[in-house]
Amino acid sequence: MNDVILVQRTVPGSKERDNIRKLAELKELAFAAGYNVLDSIVQQHHPDRRYHVGKGKAEEIAGHVAELYPSKVIFLNPLTITQIYNLSELCQCEVIDKFQLILEIFATRATTSRSKLQVELAKLEYELPRARKLVSLLKQEERPGFMGMGGYEDSYEQDLKKRISRIRKELKNTIRSSATRRESRHEQGFSLISLAGYTNAGKSTLFNTLVSENVESMDMLFTTLSPTTRSININGRRAMLTDTVGFIEDLPHFLVDAFRSTLEDVFLSDIILLVVDASDPIDVMRKKLAVSHDIFWKQLENAVIITVFNKVDLVSPADLEAKINALRYLCPNPVIVSAKESIALDKLKETIYSNLPEWKRFTISLPNSDKGMSVLSWLMEQGIVHSTDYGDTITLDVEASDSVVEKAKKFVQNLLED
Amino acid sequence: MLDTIIAVDISGRHYENDRYFMVSAAVALSYSEGNIRGIEGIHVIPFSSTKPPEITDVVHMIEESVEGIGIKGTVVAERGDMFNQPEDMVKQMFRVDFKYPESMAEKLGIEFAHHVSLSSRNLLMKQEVRES
Ligand SMILES: Nc1nc2c(ncn2[C@@H]2O[C@H](COP(=O)(O)OP(=O)(O)OP(=O)(O)O)[C@@H](O)[C@H]2O)c(=O)[nH]1
């Protein structure tokens, strides 16, 4: 159902290595959007006005479609509406380009109302310059229903403009809801950890490894939890771990805000795990790290960055040491791991643990009563109860955040005064 | 292990009152693992010229303010300050180690130097007005 075919048109004279990298990135993006790539087709060609690739190649693609039944054909290169129309007709299959694919990914990852609006806005901005052409094409060809259009609405372009300005207004009025969400998570005793980094660095693999080894079976408490957030336990401390959209090279302008909005959670985390593919050549690593710093610049509130060099199983120790040494200035708190082979994850957890927002260790005595017991169970949820000593009173050794400590002490005081 | 960068910024590269009155500020910062650990020194030098500065003049101003600090470290300045020339080419024009900012620590350093050079220039201009 989710099968796709990828198509790349390469520019004559362009670098082979870059082209291969770009196609690999498109594959990763398709994968991140939940697609299964059946085949990829590459043609070196100047852009064709009607089909983007040469007509013969377009027919070849149609042949593959007839044989493999993909649900979509995804072009790496940006397509005009005419090209999308002609290709869809020829292939009898939905055809999209890389930007539409990226928009699909953003849409699945947009969790806050703000980021949802940003993604919707980007979608409309993608459609707007194509609107007039689309309507005239549909009239000419008598094909209502194409690209989700009901009829040949002449007002289509106007509608888009109206919707764009409405969303812009709404965006102005919605505050960043993630800030309040962070507050409430903190109050529930959770710290926030985000995975960030380029596509293919191994974020999802690390996410899965960390989650499966440190399950905190409390996910059902959070009915609104997105599929990319899980609660985990780091040496007794509870945290929400969020996987995020991978950084994507050369984003067009209209996608930048939507992209940033999907990163709101990252900016507000307590800890950012910046995942780096240590098997990349050093100049590629340097460029990706520098772009990451650009993305974080002036956006972070309290976040500590931990640089996770992943895929160490693919790199020789000497090579790795040279890389880390040369890139030191871009790598706060470096940790070397293999997410896939579960190498050095304890070291990573140690580093995460020591950078979590500080909790205090304190002793508190509760009355040995129902009320006392309810405070005890509350403290067990909010913090870590290291030991309990039942006597006339219940004496606890507890570790928790400042605000929890305060609340607990006040509670006991009130009980005593009653 | 602590590393040192020297962030430099030049303000006043525009024509004003019949001259270019520029102030180059160098700020030495120590950092480790990408985080700034301390400010080790600051040095500020004013320059005046009737001609717009060329890239060699910029290199000269930067080097002079860096020498005044007396601390060794990699010099960092904005690409825009170096007429957007490629890093490799600019590196060769310096006697000291030079690079463009990449890390947040380096960007913060430049921001620091920028405020120092701006405020120093403002101060010097006010001083001039008073004395005249
Ligand atoms: N050899 C090796 N491969 C790894 C390791 N971690 C991840 N990979 C592989 O790297 C590829 C990308 O991993 P993902 O976890 O999907 O990367 P990602 O950063 O989540 O990428 P996006 O979801 O596209 O943003 C997969 O083929 C993984 O199997 C590792 O430690 N060693």
Rounded to the nearest angstrom, the minimum Cα separation between A289 and chain B is 8
User: With contacts defined as CB-CB under 8 Å, which chain A residues touch B3?
Assistant: 328-329
User: What is the rounded distance in angstroms from the CA atom of residue A224 to the CA atom of residue A242?
Assistant: 13
- Tokens read off for B48: 């005046």
**Residue A152: pLDDT over 60:** no
Q: Is A27 touching ligand 1 by the criterion CB < 6 Å?
A: no
- Span A248-266, average pLDDT: 80
CB burial of residue A366 (10 Å; 0-12, 13-18, 19+): buried
**Residue A407: pLDDT over 80:** yes
pTM: 0.76
Whether the CB of A290 is below 8 Å from some CB of chain B: the reply is yes
Return the ligand 1 atom nearest residue A337 CA. 31
Residues 6+ apart with CB under 8 A from B67: none
Least confident of A14-18, A222-226, B104-108: A222-226
Q: Tell how far CA A141 is from the center of its chain.
A: 40
Q: What pLDDT score does A7 carry?
A: 95
Q: Is A32 left (phi over 0), alpha (psi -120 to 50) or beta?
A: alpha
Distances (CA, A) of A223 to A63, A141, A220, A229: 45, 47, 6, 11
Q: What pLDDT score does A219 carry?
A: 47
For CA atoms B16, B20, B21, B26, the dihedral sign is positive
ipTM of the complex: 0.76
pLDDT tens digit sequence for B44-57:
999 988 888 899 99
pLDDT tens digit sequence for A181-218:
666 666 677 888 999 998 889 998 999 899 887 655 55
Least confident of A163-177, A267-281, A342-356, A364-378: A163-177
Whether the CB of B34 is below 8 Å from some CB of chain A: the reply is yes
- Span A32-52, average pLDDT: 91
Q: Tell how far CA A71 is from the center of its chain.
A: 24
Whether the CB of A390 is below 8 Å from some CB of chain B: the reply is no
pLDDT tens digit sequence for A120-138:
898 888 888 887 777 777 7
User: What is the rounded distance in angstroms from the CA atom of residue A294 to the CA atom of residue B80?
Assistant: 16
Residues 6+ apart with CB under 8 A from A385: A376, A379, A396, A397, A398
Q: Tell me how many degrees the CA angle A178-A181-A182 measures, rounded to the nearest 5.
A: 90
User: What is the rounded distance in angstroms from the CA atom of residue A384 to the CA atom of residue A407?
Assistant: 15
Question: What confidence category does residue A228 fall into, taking pLDDT thresholds of 50, 70 and 90?
Answer: confident
pLDDT tens digit sequence for B109-128:
999 999 999 999 999 988 88
Pocket-testing residue among A211, A316, A340, A347, ligand 1, by greatest number of atoms within 8 A of Cβ: A340
Q: Which residue has the higher pLDDT, A157 or B115?
A: B115
Residues 6+ apart with CB under 8 A from A313: A338, A340, A341, A343
